[in-house]
């Protein structure tokens, strides 16, 4: 009885399946096709950085360097072209040192049509930063976020005045950070980007997708090396540019600390031999015989692990720390020498190297 019932049910299910497969209209009715949701407005799919540009672009200015004629001091002619960024309502503008280095007069043109002669507040060749100031009201100021940290892969926009074509925005990503190989002394870390930077872009703004200042565009790899390359450009990080600006405003120049040590990061093997607590230390390779470190007793092969009781994090961190110290400051440096840990006090001098 039960066997006959199960056989009948099975035959019915098989028959129904055959009918559904054979008649598509029934199949579509019973199993309606899945519909992929489509946007009600195709414009919602558009990716745009219009708002970022609208926030940042008004504060990016054109800079024209003018120089007196060699045979007639009454005549000024435009010799250089660049860009700058208004970073303060007081009219302070950050640009590149090389944009205004040879200028007798600097003219700033805003995007709203205003033109003004700029005062040179100060300049610093080593960082390639110069600070200008203009006197005017209701000046546009570029958005700034001191908590933003550039990361590889971040989308960025370069805004400037290439070849005096007028304000132009190019697009790319941050390709690398901490690039120091093209700096004057190998000590300054740049942001590398593939956003196009050409002549006239120097001193302009590198911004993120919020329109916040990421860096000051300074050079393409081709400009720095005379090699024909594309997609390799550099910018001075905003935090460094802002720090240099504050020093120039305060002192009229950049005062840097100096102790006279050259070193390199310890290898991973040496780190393991010293113990994990010493990761981040640096090995002293050379000591300036006329510098404070030599007077304090530093020697090559010393391993620096702490400054004023705080662990260091590689060569760059030590350079940044010492550079920011005021001359006359005494610091206590913990070093490992021949397996023994000692503390050496050293008084910071002013770095007078150009």
Catalytic residues: 98, 128, 202
DSSP per-residue codes, 69-121: ETTEEEEEEEEEEEEEEE--TT-EEEEEHHHHTT-SEEEEE-TTS-EEEEEEE
The radius of gyration of the chain from alpha carbons, rounded to an integer in Å, stands at 31
| CA separation, residue 142 to residues 20, 106, 114, 205 (Å) | 66, 21, 17, 9
Instruction: Let me know: does 170 contact 235? Beta carbons within 8 Å.
Output: no
Instruction: Let me know: does 214 contact 83? Beta carbons within 8 Å.
Output: no
69 Cβ partners below 8 Å, 6+ apart? 75, 76, 77
Instruction: Let me know: does 332 contact 344? Beta carbons within 8 Å.
Output: yes
Question: How many Cβ atoms are within 10 Å of 296's Cβ, its own excluded?
Answer: 18
Which secondary structure element, helix H or strand E, spans residue 78, and what is its range? strand 72-86
């Amino acid at each position: 009885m039960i066997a006959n019932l199960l056989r009948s049910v099975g035959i019915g299910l098989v028959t129904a399946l055959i009918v559904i497969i054979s008649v598509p209209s029934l199949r579509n009715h019973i199993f309606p096709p899945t519909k992929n949701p489509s946007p009600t407005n195709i414009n919602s799919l558009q990716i745009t950085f219009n708002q970022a540009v609208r926030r940042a672009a008004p504060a990016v200015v054109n800079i024209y360097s003018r120089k007196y004629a060699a045979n007639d001091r009454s005549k000024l002619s435009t010799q250089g072209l660049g860009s700058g960024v208004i970073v303060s309502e007081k009219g302070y503008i950050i640009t590149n040192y090389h944009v205004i280095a040879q200028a007798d007069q600097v003219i700033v043109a805003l995007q709203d049509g205003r033109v003004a002669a700029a005062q040179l507040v100060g300049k610093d060749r080593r960082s390639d930063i110069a600070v200008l100031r203009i006197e005017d009201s209701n000046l546009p100021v570029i958005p700034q976020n001191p908590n933003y940290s550039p990361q590889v892969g971040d989308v960025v926009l370069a805004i400037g005045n290439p070849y005096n074509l007028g304000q132009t925005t190019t697009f790319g990503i941050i390709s690398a950070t901490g690039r120091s190989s093209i700096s004057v002394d190998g000590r300054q870390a740049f942001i590398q980007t593939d956003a196009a930077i050409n002549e006239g872009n120097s001193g302009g703004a590198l911004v993120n997708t919020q329109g916040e200042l990421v860096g000051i565009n300074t050079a393409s790899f081709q400009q720095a090396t005379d090699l024909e390359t594309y997609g390799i450009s550099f910018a001075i990080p905003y935090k460094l540019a802002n720090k240099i600006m504050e020093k120039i405003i305060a002192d009229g120049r950049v005062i840097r600390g100096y102790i006279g040590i050259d070193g390199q990061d310890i290898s991973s093997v040496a780190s393991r031999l010293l113990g994990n607590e010493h990761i981040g230390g640096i090995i002293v390779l050379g000591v300036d015989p006329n510098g404070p470190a030599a007077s304090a007793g530093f020697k090559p092969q010393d391993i620096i692990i702490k400054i004023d009781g705080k662990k260091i994090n590689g060569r760059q961190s030590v350079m940044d720390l010492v550079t920011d110290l005021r001359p006359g400051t005494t610091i206590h440096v913990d070093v490992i020498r021949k397996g023994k840990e000692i503390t050496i006090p050293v008084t910071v001098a002013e770095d007078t190297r150009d």
